[in-house]
Amino acid sequence: MFGALLRFFREQAGISQESLGARIRFSKSQVAMVERGERPPKNGFVPAADAATGAQGALITAGEKLNVNALPHWFAEFKDEEAGAVARHAYETHVVPGLLQTEPYARAVLSGQYPAFDDDEIEAKLLLRLARQNLLSRKPLPNISFVLEAAPLTRPIGGPHILREQLLHLREVAGLRHVQIQVMPPGRQSHPALDGPFVLLENAERRQLAYVEGQGGGFFITEQPALGDLFGKYGLLRAQAYTPEESLTMIEKMAEEL
């Protein structure tokens, strides 16, 4: 709501996002993210924007009542669905999935964002990410699986020592009987999910849904045939990936080489 108000007063004043950013000494991207509700306004943003847009105190009043959630608004619903899932399956291409991240690895991922998060934001997001990992030990145990491209297992996010610790953690999680981790052979020329990563969920009522996330946000897929296509893609991915046993051997070898 604060973002919508900011956009309203900015447009009423005939000011672009770039122009507003220049006037209040914030980047255009920061203004845009505040308007979309993806970043909280901080460090004098609110009073400066109120003055620049001629909001006459409306933005200051709204800012005083602003409840800041460390989760992006488009991710909050997914978090709730994930927490109650009886089955969760994911294909990942760029980083080790959040459910599998160690604290140092997660901190390194969050520290590399643009625009940069401040220290408080990093800590808040880190705590939420680590809290989501309760799904791995929740009772009753959910059915969890991952198909990972090899790239996240070789990119030294945070440095080689953090990557090695992350790989050893993957080995530990892969030992849980309700979790399966598979690696896609790096030499495979093609497979059916080259469009990008996705997560498949099934809740206690056996309702299935898919979640797809990109640079600007995420969205659910709940209708056929798109939903069935993603479940079909995942089945093919698992068939084309290394087996869990072969994947574990590969992960252990990668850790030893660091």
| pLDDT at residue 89 in the model | 98
Tens digit of each residue's pLDDT (9 = 90 or more) over 101-120: 999 999 999 999 888 888 88
**Scanning the structure block, which residue is given the tokens 């209708």?**
223
Dist CA 125 CA 69 (whole Å)? 9
| pLDDT at residue 72 in the model | 61
What is the CATH superfamily name and number for domain 2-64? lambda repressor-like DNA-binding domains (1.10.260.40)
Can you give the pTM of this predicted structure?
0.74
pLDDT reading at 70 higher than 70: no
Domain residue ranges in the chain: 2-64, 73-257
Dist CA 230 CA 89 (whole Å)? 11
Q: What percentage of the chain carries pLDDT values higher than 90?
A: 70
Mean pLDDT (the chain, rounded): 91
73-257 CATH:
3.30.870
| pLDDT at residue 73 in the model | 60
Strand order in the sheet with 208-214: 179-183, 143-148, 85-92, 198-203, 208-214, 217-221
| pLDDT at residue 191 in the model | 95
CA distances from 178 to 86, 139, 161 (A): 11, 11, 28
Which of 91-95, 114-118, 206-210, 245-249 bottoms out in mean pLDDT, i.e. has the lowest?
114-118
